[in-house]
Each structure stands twice: as structure tokens, then as C-alpha cells.
Amino acid sequence: MENENNMQNPENKYPQPPFPKQKQEFPGTERAMNPLADHGEESYQGSGRLKGKKAIITGGDSGIGKAVAIAFAREGADILISYLSDMEDEDALDTAHYVEKAGQKCIVVKGDITVEDHCKRIVADAVAEFGQIDILVNNAAFQMARKSLQDIPSDEWAHTFAVNVHSMFYLCKAAEPHMKPGSSIINTTSVNAYHPSDDLLPYAATKAAIQNFTANLSQILLNGGKGIRVNAVAPGPVWTPLIPSTKWEDAAIFGDNTPIGRPGQPVEIAPSYVFLASEESSYISGATIPATGGRIAY
């Protein structure tokens, strides 16, 4: 509950499990979630920390990506959001609405980021519209819960790496020539990089790879005189459409294994991305910010 300093106990600040049982077709939609997620639509207040910046956010239609897009826009950035499929059109347009309501430009690009040419198109569209790229957020991800090693189809293993890791390489490679010193790349890893869930083997492996990629690319770009910082955010369990569409058997109790006792809301994760994109983090590169609900990330 709130006190006279407008502070609130994090344990009951947002909905706590158990939640209603629910299942969606992948990749899921925001409107079908129960309870609905909070992306900061009514609460996030910007202060010009990203004024004049131009950002690309993959998976920007929903979940963490949506919250980051809203926060970036309210901090003064123009946004390109990429997303996968027709199912997500409504969510993507809703995100664009909030970006434009904040007085910023928004480009919406649909397509499969496992295809390198599509990643090049995303970058080309951003450069054509904005003239520059200052922030690249590699946030889109795929996961599917499987009970055993034998339950994991080989093509699903490959697809998980294609979405979560290969696309990040494609986008960084395409964007780097258009990023000036002071620019920022932010990758979404996960608490699964430290404490992998036993039903998310491919996903957890990709998130560990993202940790290494982030640290390595940071050194390459700084030692190469590029002046581009590379960091990551490691969310814990966060209430997004990915959960009822890929981990539906656990949706009712999702997040109850954190010390805070509930899943995070996307609005609680977005400020870490704002910080890493801003000049306030100018001496930080190769680092990961854990936003895990109290789960230890090391």
C-alpha cells in the first residue's frame, strides 16, 4: 500500500498470482490476457532524456517492447517498431498510437527477423525516415515450454536461435554503420541466462548466448573506436503475451517463484532500457541490468 512518500510495497503493487487459466496461439495478443498488462500507458512520465534520438525496437508491438517504445517516446525519441505477424497488427498499431500521442514519429514494420534481408530492411527504413539510428533494442524473442529433451523438435531448437540470436547479429551488423559515437545497443537477455528453467532449454541457451554476445560486442566496438555502447537487460518473469502463448500450463502461477511473489509488469522493466539508452549511463558498457523480482542474477 502507498505511504505519505508515494512509495508502494512491490509485493502488492501489481496483480499477484494465481491468475485465471488461459492459453493463446503464439505469438499471442495483449487484449486476450487476463489480467491485462501495464505498459505505462497511464503512468510513465518522461523528462526529455532521449530528446532527438532515433530508436529501433524489435518486438515493439507488445510486452516489454511496447513499454520501452512508450517510455522512449515520452523521453523524446522517434521509434521504429518491428513485429512478426498479422495477429499482432492491433497491438502494433496501439503502440504506434501511444508513440504518436507523445508527439513522436513511429514507423511500424512487420516481418520475420530470422531473415537477414528483412533485418536490413528494418535498418534501411529507419535511416530513410530518421536519417540516423541512435538506439537499437534487440528485444524480440521466441520460446516454447517443453517437458523433456525428447519433446524439443530439432527445427524448434534452430528456430529459437534464429529468432533470439541470429537476428540480433543481423540487426547489429546492419545498424552499426549508421550509429555515431554515443549510440547505444541494448539486448534483452533473461534471468534464464543465470538460472535456467528446466522447461525452456533452447530459450535459456539463447539468453546465455546473448550475455556473451553483449559483452564481446561491447569490447569490439569500443576497442575499435566506434564509441557505441552495448548493454543488456535481464528480466525475470514478466507478464506478456509470450506467457499464455508458450508457457500456458504455468500461466496461473507465473511469477510466484520470485521473492516479490508476482510477475513483473512491462512498465517496471522499461526504465532500465531508458537508463541504458541515455547519457546517464555513458560510462556503462558490456553490462547487464537484472530486473528479476528479487531473483539473484549471477
231 pairs with which residues across the strands?
Answer: 186
Grid cell locating 53: 534520438
Grid cell locating 196: 535456467
Residues 75 and 51: beta-carbon distance below 8 Å:
yes
Residues 194 and 296: beta-carbon distance below 8 Å:
yes
- 203 catalytically annotated: yes
Select which of 203, 273, 283, 298 is catalytic. Answer: 203
Catalytic residues: 203
